[in-house]
């Protein structure tokens, strides 16, 4: 089975335990993403939607930066784990169960939408982009990362990361759903967003547990991240 999203519920009770290597990998990606995102926005006091939040790694990082965070994900058990951990940490994060193709929020509700490790899993990329644009306020930012679609990206993420190193469970991704940067720019533009420059994301070292750490890279052939802006006026 490819694009197996059941893993987020299956391992929800261990999401914050640091017992599972692939979950630690997802956690370790957050600082690398924020090295780029932090340069684009001052999170303090901003209303932010974490679209595809899973168990809450990014949502909590943003809340700790002073954002008012809402997280949404289709994995109900992961959302329950996120709520429980946020409460234990004293963080006021609103969590909902739902999908990016039909966000249960009013138009112009958020200053920013963050969507990481998600776009390569959705059933309708264009519909998600329309929903993102709808819930963003004028001048708001869409910040993302995703996986490029080409033989090198397939080799790195499927053959190496899933099958050999087991950095992710087998079947996590379907390479047919990977997204070329030009395709993502087209979808953003069609939704009324203005794409900015994309950059790469990848391994930058290892930590004491010999887990990979991540950060921005110039190469966009495998993982890439970036942002788009909702214009101030239509």
Q: Is 51 or 204 the better-scoring residue by pLDDT? A: 51
Helix (H) / strand (E) element for 48: namely strand 47-51
Per DSSP, the residues of 99-115 read -TTS--S-TT-EEEEEE
Average pLDDT score over residue span 54-77: 97
25-45 pLDDT, tens per residue?
999 999 999 999 999 999 999
Q: 142-201, pLDDT tens digit by residue?
A: 999 999 999 999 999 999 988 888 878 888 899 999 999 999 999 999 999 999 999 999
The DSSP bridge partners found for residue 97 are 73
Beta bridge partners of 225: 145, 199
Is residue 234 pLDDT above 60, yes or no?
Answer: no
Contact 31, 58 (CB under 8 A): no
In tens, the pLDDT along 85-106 reads 999 999 999 999 999 999 999 9
> What does the pLDDT average to over 70-82?
97
> CA separation (Å) from 2 to 5, 44, 123, 184?
9, 38, 13, 21
Q: Which residues contact 140 (CB under 8 A, 6 or more apart)?
A: 110, 111, 112, 113, 229, 230
Average pLDDT of the chain to the nearest whole number: 94
Please state, for a pLDDT cut of 70, what percent of the chain lies above it. Answer: 99
- Alpha-carbon gap, residue 64 to 24, rounded angstroms: 19
pLDDT at residue number 83: 98
Examine the pLDDT at 4 and tell me if it is beyond 90.
no
Q: Which residues pair with 113 in a beta bridge?
A: 49, 142
Record the tokens describing residue 172, joined without a space.
Answer: 């996590």
Planar angle of CA 172, 174, 197, nearest 5 degrees? 100
CA angle centred on 112, ends 38 and 120, rounded to 5°: 90
Q: Residue 1 — pLDDT band, cuts 50, 70, 90?
A: low
């Amino acid at each position: 089975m490819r694009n197996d999203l059941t893993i987020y519920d299956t391992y929800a009770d261990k999401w914050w335990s640091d017992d599972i290597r692939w979950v630690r990998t997802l956690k370790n990606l957050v600082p690398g993403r924020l090295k780029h995102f932090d340069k684009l926005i001052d999170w303090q006091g901003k209303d932010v939607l974490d679209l595809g939040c899973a168990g809450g790694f990014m949502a909590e990082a943003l809340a700790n930066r002073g954002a008012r965070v809402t997280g949404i994900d289709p994995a109900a058990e992961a959302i329950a784990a996120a709520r429980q951990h946020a409460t234990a940490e004293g963080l006021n994060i609103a969590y909902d169960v739902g999908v990016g193709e039909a966000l249960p929020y009013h138009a112009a509700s958020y200053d920013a939408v963050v969507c990481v490790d998600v776009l390569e899993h959705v059933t309708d990329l264009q519909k998600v982009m329309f929903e993102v644009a709808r819930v963003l306020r004028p001048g708001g930012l869409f910040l993302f990362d995703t996986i490029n679609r080409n033989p090198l990206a397939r080799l790195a993420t499927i053959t190496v990361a899933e099958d050999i190193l087991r950095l992710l469970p087998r079947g996590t991704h379907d390479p047919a759903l990977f997204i070329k940067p030009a395709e993502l720019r087209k979808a953003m533009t069609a939704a009324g967003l203005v794409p900015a420059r994309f950059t790469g994301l990848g391994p930058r070292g290892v930590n004491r547990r010999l887990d990979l750490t991540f950060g921005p890279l110039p190469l966009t052939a495998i993982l890439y991240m970036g942002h788009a802006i909702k214009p101030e006026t239509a």
